[in-house]
């Protein structure tokens, strides 16, 4: 692992980009590191670029760390180029982003000046360009070294030589780059086109005062959304509606689904459920002037044929039901069980919000020909019982539960289950934990129990306790 | 007498499955009172020898009478795990023949797999089942396979049954019983053990996670539900299987049917080297006598005759003649090559006159009064072990010869067991416990090197982790237990086992990672323990260097020498060594050795032997160095500690006479234990094994009380006894026996002699043997120049691939650097260039390009290394011109091969400043003949009051100085109390010593600096050794940026502008541009 970025303090301490993490740690043991996340970096760059639309519509991201603005024709809006630059700098400072700004007559020149120039833009541009180091040409390392070795250190040094001399040694591309930097060749800017988010809205000339009508409009928007989603083979997992009132108040309503969908009826039903349950009911006041629907989360959804196999339908109904229940009762209240890989019986399943899992997990099938090894009902916590059993690890002969003595006639076991030593709070490797010996037993009245002894006799406990953990059907 | 034996027991040689050492399994089985134990690892017999040794050790602890009654029996085999759906089968050979079948079977599986795996099929077992007892761990679903096995091995198959406490054990057991009855095979009770004690469960869970690549929190049901798979006592097993007493009894029945033990692996030496009609012993005696006559043409001295007779007798009675002849055969092969491959035996073989006369070793035991019994003795019954070093660049030829001559089915390389080391253990266990890699990396960041024994508490705390944190304790507890666990097998560097019969009938064979290599499953300790024969074909860089020196000397008419014809005891050589002038010399070139030389002042060969042996962890940790030096210089009387009467007061004089009463060699420590601490020869033998073979941290300590108390009881001072013991402990890791030190001292002398008389030859040979030794080429070249030698830069019209020697006008020899010094330059380019050059030098760049047909890249590298000076072009101009050469092939037709590049209309390039040249030299060849980077910074440092290295070296004792230089080496030896740093500038070098207590404060600059400023006090020993006792270190690497603006991007950046100073992303920069100076060499 290597460092991909360093801040000013770490540079002071002698770290630089490309140092291996182990080396860096040896130098600065208390170094704070974060994982390199190029996607997040690109995302941030995109977001900054998006926001720059306030200065000019012609914005291009210049990955990995640059943004290019074509301010031709828009600088006067800020009162001139210098003022515009100042405004951008102030704005970025406020956002706590370190930035280096440069203005030039071509994108390449601005790019180079920002990275290799010395900051202030107060001198003649061609002069500044000539004083840039040859690194600004962004050649291959080998060619750059070649220029250095020849004693050509600045763009000016290179530009003073005949173009043919340079081209013969460093290729036509170098000359072309040189021309671009010095503004002799043109390069168009590649502006950003952002992906339009899935937003559907309806504005009204006259504010509408009827809630019923507003919901009708929403239905229309959902229909629009369905068409759009179907085009891309997508379905929504979340839908958000905002109702904008004339007086500026905005009401948000948000629903989620367990499976992707684009069925307007189903989503309308969810919205209805949510609106009915709102503590602050939808109130048109002096009227809504806009209703907007957005689909913030989508997943692929292939088109399907209706009603050919009724089984598919049935499953969808369950999903729909789960969605409605979740909306009505709250997402954390409709749960379903998932298997959890552990030997500890009470932890071998966990309940998670049903809406979070569209995938049905596979439960371990019971061994064929074997009786069930776990009871249907578990006591939480297990109930203490008094037992008469053979030492060290014989099955219970008799035990007392709920004031009633029970005599055992059949038994099987023990099934020995050790605690998870890494979860122990007292001993780091769980040497003080007690192992459980489970027995499946049946009494003379045909009742079947699941009991365990806590602690191995002699090795872990002198007089282990017994517990009833569950009942078999 | 107990009636149960666990026959399905795995050890940690079932890699990442078993969780106990083989010795722990055996010890626990004995403790539980079992009748015996069967060790069977997964498709491997790698751990069985350790079990065998553990049992032998246990027996040695008993009195003779107890031994007789001791009924415990170890049987060894393997658990066969199949690639098809055959159940696991545990196979135990009953006879030597059966063992051969088993190892051949495993070999078949090993060689079928591509990497480290063993792919077995049922058919393989059916083909190799003779004399094997089989225990099948199957159930109903395997009925078909079981029936086939029963048919081929009707009375040799058992069905294994276990009580894993799964909740349905009894039903399961009843089903197994029914199956067994149906098949007509007996049932065998077993616990299918994976570890010795229930407490090993945690470790077993951890190795399971490592194997499955998961964490403990996520492993879930991959882990075992309980801790039941430990060894259980016979009583417990009888209780569990009380319904099936015959299943318990079956275990001892199996035990009784097995007569095979590993002790039966009788070794047969290859017979190749003996000519037809000769008996091996007669042939050996014949050639040794012939050699003796040649060695002593005026008559063989009586003493030599006597020694030979003594050795012949022993070799005859033990039947080792073939072994000596086999080693001789390898050595003869090496010497008969053209040019010959230099070789020399090391280790205790140097005690033998037979080895000397066979030219296996080059130390004359007659002259040095060495005892053959140290090499081999009747009492020890151990086969001789001869290690031979060959020139490192040509060892492969010898290895291929071994395969050619003995065949792949009779020759194999030993394995090396790779153990968990602190770094790997912390990293892997940490991962299992869910710690981030950053955290574990940080935790081991101050473990220098990979061999630092245990993970010390302080190391963890040093890195800012609290030992109060349960997670850290958990990690440490587990790491401490997994250390010394085997991790995987790898091939040994050069230890060969050669046999007369099939090797795969002794031990399974594996494919090695290197193509065309196979290795066996046992390592050298196993082979020693079983008494098998091994010959080490090792590589030694210094032999390459010496051979190249001899070649150069012959070429330049400086004499025709061989290892044993260099003049002995030359005063000038010792004068040079006494000054500590030993850069490049074998063994005595390290900082610590160089410091020792002026104090020890070697004046004769034996002094070198001591010099080699004394700067080792053994004598240092035993605090033997200073007493020896004081006695040698006469400051202290030579005194032999004596015991109380009635013991012989002079008993130590024999043992320690040669070394002035101070134990320095390994065998002295042994002898000390026998003579002064009343060790029996068996005890001493075990102590020796604990020291030399299974380097087990645990075993050696049990001897402490025995030795110290033994000596005290005889009237020695406790403090002396303690020191002796500490030294033995130190030897455990690195100790030299006297004969080994002697062999090495030969090479020390020879290399010193060459350096002394032919420094240019020596440096040239060293450069051509790189990488080797302690110093980088820059230091070697510098050393030569300081000795008045002339060094010339690589040049297209003068250099060859290797560095060469050229006669100067004055008749002396100058060193011409070869093209191999140029980074990334290829040998094939150099050869093409040399061929094209022939007799006629190149006149222009085009001339070179055309005649040698070199690619543009080669030309650029040559130009950048400033190799065009002979045609009047410096680096800058040459590079400028080379860049212009057209791409690709030059025109096909000779007519077009004229000077075709037009003159250009351009101003000349600016002249290249010297400093730029120096920097570029370092970047391309890692050394510069034009200057030292520090001289360009001198003014800056002088203005700060920083002394040059030469001035520092001359400063008064006790004065406080500041000095700066480029870091050559950083070293933290032994226990890590001190860090040695060597820095260099244009005037010389300074050796600095930094106590470890400063390291926390100074870690950053110490570890990261390329250019270092040191502050401290001068300490000057009376022998004139100067050290800077450093108290502060300042990283001045940044100053290198000011050397040359060529390499740094922005000439106009003001210093305060940090952002502008930031380095561009490294993706499109060659590391060479960032690095001005080559990395220092750091040793651990």
Tell me the pLDDT tens digit for each residue of A251-309.
Answer: 888 888 878 888 888 888 888 888 877 777 788 888 888 888 888 778 888 776 555 55
Q: How far is A279 from chain B (nearest CA, A)?
A: 42
For residue range B596-633, what is the model confidence (pLDDT) as tens digits? 888 888 998 889 999 988 887 667 766 778 888 888 88
Asked if B910's CB is within 8 angstroms of A148's CB, the reply is no
pLDDT above 70 coverage of chain B, percent: 88
DSSP reduced 3-state for B614 = helix
| Interface contact flag, A169 B166, Cβ < 8 Å | no
ipTM, interface predicted TM-score of the complex: 0.71
Q: How many helices (H) and strands (E) does chain A have?
A: 13, 14
A-chain CB neighbours of B437 within 8 Å are 1
Instruction: Work out the average pLDDT over B673-680.
Output: 80
Q: What is the DSSP letter of B933?
A: G
CB contact under 8 A, B221 and A342: yes
Determine the residue among B856, B1066, B1080, B1084 to mutate to test chain A binding: the one whose Cβ has the most chain A Cβ atoms within 10 Å: B1066
CB B489 within 8 A of CB B510: yes
Provide the token pair at A403: 């004031």
Q: Name the β-bridge partners of B960.
A: B1017
CA distance A150 to chain B (A): 5
Q: What are B857-913's pLDDT values in tens digits?
A: 899 999 999 999 999 999 999 998 888 877 654 444 444 444 456 667 777 888 888
Contacts 24+ apart (CB under 8 A), A371-377: A371/A440, A372/A472, A373/A415, A373/A440, A373/B167, A373/B168, A374/A345, A374/A348, A374/A450, A374/A470, A375/A448, A375/A450, A375/A469, A375/A470, A375/A471, A375/A472, A375/A473, A376/A470, A376/A471, A376/A472, A376/A473, A377/A470, A377/A471
User: Which of the residue ranges A55-64, A101-110, B368-377, B1012-1021 has the most confident prediction, judged by mean pLDDT?
Assistant: B1012-1021
Interatomic CA distance for residues B856 and B864, integer angstroms: 12
How far apart (Å, rounded) are the C-alpha atoms in residues A135 and B1051? 11
* Spatial CA neighbour of B45 closest among B268, B257, B262, B207: B262
CA distance B797 to chain A (A): 22
| A17 vs B559: CA distance, rounded Å | 55
From A55's Cα to the closest Cα of chain B, the distance in A is: 25
Q: What is the pLDDT of residue A120?
A: 56
* Residue from B436, B428, B461, B431 nearest B446 by CA: B461
Q: Is the pLDDT of residue A428 over 90?
A: no
pLDDT value of position B369: 72
Tell me which DSSP letter residue A20 carries: B
> Residue B951 has what pLDDT?
92
Q: Are B244 and B173 in contact (CB under 8 A)?
A: yes
In percent, how much of chain B has pLDDT > 90?
37
B277-300 pLDDT tens trace: 889 999 999 999 999 999 899 988
pLDDT given for residue B135 in this prediction: 96
Query: What is the end-to-end Cα distance of chain A in Å, rounded?
Result: 56
Pairs of residues, one from chain A and one from chain B, whose beta carbons lie less than 8 Å apart: 184
Q: What is the mean pLDDT of residues B678-686?
A: 74
Task: Indicate yes or no: CB of A435 within 8 angstroms of CB of B227.
Answer: yes
Q: Is the pLDDT reported for residue A443 higher than 70?
A: yes
pLDDT at B374: 67
Instruction: Kindly give, in sequence order, each residue whose CB lies less than 8 Å from that of residue B294, ignoring residues fewer than 6 positions away.
Output: none
C-beta atoms of B201 and A165 within 8 A:
no
Q: In three state form, how does the secondary structure of B574-598 look?
A: HHHHHCCCCCCCCCCCCHHHHHHHH
- Tell if the CB–CB gap between B1008 and A162 is shorter than 8 Å: no
Phi and psi at residue B620, in whole multiples of 5°? -70, -50
Give me the residue from A135, A153, A429 closest to B478, CB to CB: A429
> Is residue B980 scored above 70 in pLDDT?
yes
Chain B nearest-CA residue for A119? B1060
- Alpha-carbon gap: A24 to the closest alpha carbon of chain B (Å): 9
Q: Which candidate from B205, B1052, B1058 shows the least CB-CB separation from A8?
A: B1058
User: Quick one: pLDDT at residue B764?
Assistant: 95
Radius of gyration for chain B, computed over Cα atoms and rounded to the nearest angstrom: 33
For residue B1020, what is the enclosing H or E element? strand B1011-1020
Bridge partners of residue A435, in order along the sequence = none
Write out the E strands in B105-196. Answer: 132-136, 157-161, 187-189
**pLDDT tens digits along B545-582:** 999 999 999 999 888 888 778 877 889 999 999 988 89
Nearest CA in chain B to A65: B1065
Q: Do A429 and B864 touch (CB under 8 A)?
A: no
Q: What are phi and psi for residue A200, nearest 5 degrees?
A: -130, 130
The two structure tokens encoding residue B428? 């892997």
pLDDT band for position B649 (50/70/90)?
confident
Looking at the partner chain, which of A6, A144, A422 has a beta carbon nearest the beta carbon of B217?
Answer: A422
First to last CA, chain B: 53
CA distances, A82 to each of A77, A79, A103, A431, B697 (Å): 12, 8, 9, 72, 74
What pTM, to 2 d.p., does this model score?
0.74
Tell me what the mean pLDDT of segment B493-503 comes to. Answer: 85
Q: Chain B partners of A170 at a C-beta cutoff of 8 Å?
A: 883
Q: What is the CA radius of gyration of chain A?
A: 36
C-alpha to C-alpha distances, B784 to B807, B924, B942, nearest whole angstrom: 16, 20, 28
pLDDT tens for B1002-1054 read: 877 787 788 899 999 999 887 778 889 999 999 888 787 777 654 432 222 22
Question: Across all residues in chain B, what is the average pLDDT?
Answer: 84
- Compute the mean pLDDT over every residue in chain A, rounded to the nearest whole number: 83
Using CB atoms, which residue from B216, B445, B1061 is nearest to A22? B445
The number of CA neighbours under 13 Å toward the Cβ of B1069 is: 15
Nearest to A412 among B168, B226, B910 (CB): B168
Contact B238, B245 (CB under 8 A): yes
Structure tokens belonging to residue A114: 């920002």
Query: Which 3 state secondary structure label does DSSP give B92?
Result: strand
pLDDT at B256 over 60: yes
Beta strand residue intervals within A16-62, DSSP E: 59-62
Read off the pLDDT band of B1063 (50, 70, 90).
very low
Nearest to B909 among A29, A150, A425 (CB): A150
Is B165's CB within 8 Å of A414's CB?
A: yes
Nearest CA in chain B to A14: B1008
Distance from CA of A109 to the nearest CA of B (A): 16
Give per-residue burial for B802-830: e unless 16+ CB within 10 Å, then b. bbbbeeeeeeebbbbbbbbbbeebbeebb
* For residue B977, pLDDT beyond 80: no
């Amino acid at each position: 692992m290597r460092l991909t970025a360093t801040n000013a303090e770490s540079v002071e301490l002698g770290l630089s980009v490309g140092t291996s993490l182990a080396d860096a740690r040896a130098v600065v043991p208390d170094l704070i590191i974060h994982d390199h996340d190029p996607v997040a970096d690109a995302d941030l760059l995109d977001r900054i670029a998006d926001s720059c639309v306030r200065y000019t519509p012609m914005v291009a991201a210049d990955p990995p760390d640059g943004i290019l603005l074509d301010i031709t024709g828009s600088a006067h809006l800020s009162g001139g180029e210098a003022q515009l630059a100042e405004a951008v700098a102030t704005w970025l400072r406020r956002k706590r982003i370190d930035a280096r700004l440069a203005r030039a007559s071509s994108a390449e020149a601005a790019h180079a000046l920002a990275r290799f120039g010395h900051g202030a833009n107060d001198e003649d541009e061609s002069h500044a360009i000539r004083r840039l180091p040859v690194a600004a040409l962004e050649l291959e390392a080998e060619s750059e070294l070649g220029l250095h070795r020849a004693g050509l250190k600045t763009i000016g040094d290179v530009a003073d030589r005949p173009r043919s001399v340079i081209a013969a040694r460093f290729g036509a591309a170098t000359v072309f780059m040189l021309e671009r930097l010095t503004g002799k060749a043109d390069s168009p800017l590649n502006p950003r086109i952002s992906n339009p988010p899935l937003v559907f809205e309806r504005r009204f000339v006259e504010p509408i005062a009827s809630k019923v009508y507003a919901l009708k409009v929403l239905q229309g928007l959902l229909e629009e959304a369905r068409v759009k989603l179907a085009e891309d083979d997508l379905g929504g997992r979340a839908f958000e509606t905002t109702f904008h009132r004339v007086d500026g108040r905005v009401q948000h309503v948000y629903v989620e689904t367990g499976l992707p969908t684009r069925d307007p009826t189903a989503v309308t039903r969810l919205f209805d459920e949510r609106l009915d349950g709102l503590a602050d009911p939808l109130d048109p006041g002096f009227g809504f002037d806009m209703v907007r629907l957005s689909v913030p989360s989508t997943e692929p959804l292939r088109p399907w044929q209706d009603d050919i196999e009724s089984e598919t339908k049935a499953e969808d109904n369950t999903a729909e039901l789960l969605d409605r229940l979740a909306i009505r009762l709250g997402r954390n209240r409709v749960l379903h069980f998932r298997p959890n890989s552990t030997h500890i019986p009470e932890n071998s399943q966990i309940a998670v919000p049903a809406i979070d899992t569209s995938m049905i997990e596979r439960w371990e099938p019971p061994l064929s020909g074997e009786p069930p090894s776990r009871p249907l009902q578990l006591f939480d916590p297990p109930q203490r019982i008094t037992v008469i059993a053979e030492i060290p690890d014989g099955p219970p002969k008799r035990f007392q539960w709920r004031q009633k003595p029970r005599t055992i006639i059949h038994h099987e076991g023990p099934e020995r289950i050790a605690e998870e030593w890494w979860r122990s709070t007292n001993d780091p490797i769980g040497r003080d934990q007690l192992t459980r010996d489970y027995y499946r037993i049946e009494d003379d009245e045909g009742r079947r129990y699941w009991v365990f002894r806590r602690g191995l006799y002699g090795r872990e406990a002198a007089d282990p306790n017994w517990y009833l953990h569950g009942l078999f059907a | 007498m107990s009636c149960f034996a666990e026959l399905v027991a795995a050890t940690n040689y079932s890699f990442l499955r078993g969780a106990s050492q083989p010795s722990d399994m055996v010890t626990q089985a004995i403790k539980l009172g079992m009748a015996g134990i069967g060790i069977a690892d997964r498709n491997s017999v790698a751990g069985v020898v350790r079990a065998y040794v553990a049992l032998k050790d246990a027996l040695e602890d008993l009195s003779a009478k107890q031994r007789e009654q001791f009924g415990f029996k170890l049987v060894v085999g393997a658990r066969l795990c199949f690639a098809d759906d055959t159940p696991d089968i545990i196979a135990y050979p009953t006879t030597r023949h059966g063992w051969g079948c088993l190892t051949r079977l495993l070999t078949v599986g090993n060689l079928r797999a591509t990497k480290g795996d063993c792919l077995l099929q049922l058919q393989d077992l059916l083909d190799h089942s003779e004399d094997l007892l089989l225990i099948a761990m199957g159930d109903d679903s395997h009925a078909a396979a079981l029936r086939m096995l029963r048919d081929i091995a009707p009375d040799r198959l058992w069905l294994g049954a276990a009580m894993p406490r799964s909740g349905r054990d009894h039903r399961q057991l009843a089903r197994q019983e029914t199956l067994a009855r149906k098949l007509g095979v007996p049932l065998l009770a077993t616990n299918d053990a994976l570890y010795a004690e229930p407490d090993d469960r945690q470790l077993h869970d951890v190795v399971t996670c490592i194997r499955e690549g998961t964490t403990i929190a996520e492993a879930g049901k991959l882990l075992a539900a309980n801790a039941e798979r430990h060894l259980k006592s016979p009583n417990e097993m009888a209780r569990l299987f009380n319904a099936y007493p015959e299943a318990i009894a079956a275990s001892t029945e199996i035990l009784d049917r097995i007569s095979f033990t590993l002790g039966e692996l009788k070794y047969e030496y290859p017979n190749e080297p003996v000519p037809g009609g000769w008996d091996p012993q007669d042939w050996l005696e014949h050639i040794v006598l012939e050699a003796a006559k040649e060695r002593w043409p005026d008559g063989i001295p009586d003493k030599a005759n006597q020694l030979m007779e003594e050795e012949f007798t022993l070799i005859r009675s033990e039947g080792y003649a073939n072994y000596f002849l086999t080693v001789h055969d390898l050595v003869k092969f090496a010497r008969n090559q053209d040019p010959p491959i230099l070789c020399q035996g090391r280790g205790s073989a140097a005690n033998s006159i037979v080895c000397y006369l066979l030219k296996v070793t080059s130390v004359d035991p007659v002259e040095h009064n060495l005892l053959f019994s140290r090499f081999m003795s009747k009492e020890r019954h151990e086969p001789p072990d001869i290690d031979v070093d060959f020139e490192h660049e040509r060892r492969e030829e010898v290895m291929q010869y071994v395969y050619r001559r003995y065949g792949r089915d009779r020759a194999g390389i030993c394995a090396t067991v790779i153990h968990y080391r602190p770094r790997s253990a912390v990293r892997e266990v940490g991962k299992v416990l869910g710690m981030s890699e950053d955290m574990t990396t940080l935790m081991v960041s101050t473990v220098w090197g990979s061999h630092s024994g245990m993970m010390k508490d302080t190391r963890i705390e040093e890195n800012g982790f609290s030992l109060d944190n349960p997670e850290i304790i958990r990690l440490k507890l587990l790491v401490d237990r997994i250390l010394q666990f085997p991790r995987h097998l790898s091939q040994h560097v050069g230890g060969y086992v050669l046999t007369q019969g099939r090797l795969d009938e002794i031990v399974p064979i594996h494919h090695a990672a290197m193509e065309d290599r196979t290795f066996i499953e046992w390592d050298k300790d196993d082979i020693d323990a079983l008494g098998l024969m091994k010959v080490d074909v090792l590589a030694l860089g210094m032999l390459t260097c010496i051979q190249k020196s001899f070649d150069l000397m012959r070429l330049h008419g400086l004499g025709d020498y061989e290892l044993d014809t260099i003049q002995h005891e030359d005063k000038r050589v010792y004068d040079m060594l006494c000054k500590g002038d030993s850069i490049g010399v074998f063994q005595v070139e390290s900082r610590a050795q160089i410091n020792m030389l002026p104090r020890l002042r070697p004046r004769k060969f034996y002094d070198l032997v001591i010099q080699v042996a004394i700067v080792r962890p053994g004598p240092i940790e035993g605090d033997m160095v200073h007493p020896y030096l004081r006695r040698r210089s006469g400051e202290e009387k030579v005194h032999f500690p004596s015991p109380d009467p009635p013991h012989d007061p002079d008993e130590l004089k024999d043992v320690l006479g040669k070394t002035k009463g101070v134990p320095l060699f390994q065998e002295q420590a042994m002898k000390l234990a026998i003579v002064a601490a009343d060790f029996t020869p068996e005890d001493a033998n075990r102590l020796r094994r604990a020291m030399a073979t299974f380097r087990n941290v645990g075993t050696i300590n049990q001897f402490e009380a025995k030795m110290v108390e033994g000596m005290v009881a005889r009237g020695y001072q406790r403090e002396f006894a303690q020191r002796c013991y500490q030294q033995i402990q130190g030897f455990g890791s690195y100790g030299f026996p006297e004969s080994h030190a002697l062999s090495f001292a030969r090479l020390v002398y020879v290399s010193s002699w060459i350096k002394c008389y032919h420094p240019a030859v020596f440096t040239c040979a060293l450069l051509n043997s790189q990488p080797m030794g302690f110093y980088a080429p820059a230091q070697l070249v510098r050393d030569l120049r300081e000795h008045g030698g002339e060094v010339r830069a690589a040049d297209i019209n003068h250099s060859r691939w290797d560095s060469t020697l050229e006669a100067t006008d004055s008749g002396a020899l100058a060193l011409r650097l070869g093209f191999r010094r140029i980074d990334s330059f290829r040998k094939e380019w150099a050869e093409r260039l040399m061929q094209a050059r022939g007799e006629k030098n190149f006149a222009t760049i085009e001339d070179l390009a055309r005649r040698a047909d070199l690619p543009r890249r080669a030309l650029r590298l040559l130009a950048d290394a400033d190799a065009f000076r002979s045609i009047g072009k410096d680096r800058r101009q040459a590079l400028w011109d080379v860049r212009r050469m057209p791409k690709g092939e030059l025109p096909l037709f000779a007519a077009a091969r004229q000077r075709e590049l037009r003159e250009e209309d351009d101003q000349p390039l600016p002249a290249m400043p010297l400093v730029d040249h120096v920097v570029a030299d370092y970047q391309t060849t890692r050394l510069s003949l034009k200057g030292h980077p520090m001289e360009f910074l001198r003014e800056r440092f002088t203005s700060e009051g920083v002394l040059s290295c030469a001035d520092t070296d001359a400063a008064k004792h006790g004065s406080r100085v500041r000095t700066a230089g480029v870091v050559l080496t950083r070293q933290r030896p032994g226990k890590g109390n001190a860090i040695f740093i060597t820095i260099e500038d244009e005037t010389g070098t300074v050796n600095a010593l930094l106590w470890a207590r400063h390291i926390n404060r100074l870690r950053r600059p110490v570890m990261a600096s390329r250019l270092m400023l040191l502050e401290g006090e001068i300490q000057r020993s009376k022998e004139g050794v100067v050290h800077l006792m450093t108290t502060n270190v300042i990283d001045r690497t940044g100053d290198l940026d000011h050397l040359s603006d060529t390499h740094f991007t922005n000439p106009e950046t003001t210093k305060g502008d940090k952002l502008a100073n930031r380095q561009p992303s490294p993706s499109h920069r060659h590391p060479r541009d960032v690095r001005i100076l080559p990395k220092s060499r750091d040793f651990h």
